[in-house]
Amino acid sequence: MPENLTQETIPAAAASTRSLRLGVAGPVGTGKSSLIATICRAMSEELQIGVITNDIYTDEDARFLRSAGVLPEERIRAVETGACPHTAIRDDVTANLLAVEDLESDFAPLDLVLVESGGDNLTATFSPALVDAQIFVLDVAGGGDVARKGGPGIARADLLVINKIDLAPYVDVDVEQMLADAVDAREGGPVLALSRKQQDTVDRLSAWVREMVAKHRAGSHTPQDPGPMAPHFHADEDGGYIHTHDDAEGADAVRHQH
Ligand SMILES: Nc1nc2c(ncn2[C@@H]2O[C@H](COP(=O)(O)OP(=O)(O)OP(=O)(O)O)[C@@H](O)[C@H]2O)c(=O)[nH]1
Compute, in angstroms, the gap from residue 224 CA to the centroid of ligand 1.
27
Residue 15 pLDDT class (50, 70, 90 cuts): very low
pTM value is 0.85
Task: Determine whether the annotation assigns residue 29 to a binding site.
Answer: yes
Q: End-to-end alpha-carbon separation of the chain, Å? A: 61
Q: What is the largest CA-CA distance in the chain?
A: 70
C-beta separation of 122 from 151 below 8 A: yes
Q: Whose CA is nearest to atom 10 of ligand 1?
A: 31
Q: How does pLDDT run across 29-49, given as a tens digit for each residue?
A: 999 999 999 999 999 999 999
Ligand-binding site membership of 33 (annotated): yes
pLDDT digits (tens, 9 = 90+) for 230-258: 665 666 667 666 666 554 444 444 433 33
For each of the domains in the chain, give its residue range(s) and CATH number, in order of start: 17-227 (3.40.50.300), 229-258 (no CATH)
Q: Which of 127, 133, 134 is nearest to 24 (CA)?
A: 134
Over residues 111-126, the mean pLDDT reads 87
